[in-house]
Amino acid sequence: MATDNKRGNFKVMIIDDDDIVLFLHDLMIKESGLSTDPLGFSNGKAAMDYLQENYTVTDSYLIFLDINMPVMNGWQFLELIEERKYQVTVIIVSSSIDSADYQKAKKYPSVKEYITKPLTIETSIRVKESYILNG
């Protein structure tokens, strides 16, 4: 689940309401070497509950976030991330190609990228090189 780095534990979270997407993204993340055990959540509330119980400033979190989900969508999740001042790196992975979503994502400091589904092994490797190796 976690890999040690200079900032403490490194955790990858995948938040998506589609079980097939969760499985596929989990596989891509493992195959790329980004994480051996990413954490999967079916909505933003489940992921937020996890963060509330486990978040520490010494850990590093990389979150792959879908936008359109039941219970708590990606935008609501991002609002809480900002409100609670969690220091995380978020990469939106969505099927939405609406430029309004892309522009809205830019307003959140924690969002570093907006990727169109599905996550690929190549993208996972690039993310690893961009956000993990370069810290």
Share of residues in the chain with pLDDT > 70 (%): 91
**Range scoring the smallest mean pLDDT among 7-16, 77-86, 105-114:** 7-16
CATH class of 3-132: alpha beta
- pLDDT level of residue 1 (50, 70, 90 thresholds): very low
Cα separation, 97 vs 123, in Å, equals: 17
Looking at residue 132, its pLDDT comes to 67
Q: Which two tokens stand for residue 53?
A: 């119980």
Average pLDDT over residues 86-100: 92
For the residues 55-84, what does the mean pLDDT come to? 93
Distance CA 89, CA 78 (A): 11
pTM summary value: 0.89
**Selection from 84, 83, 67, 63 nearest residue 75 by Cα:** 67
Sequence spans of domains, the chain: 3-132
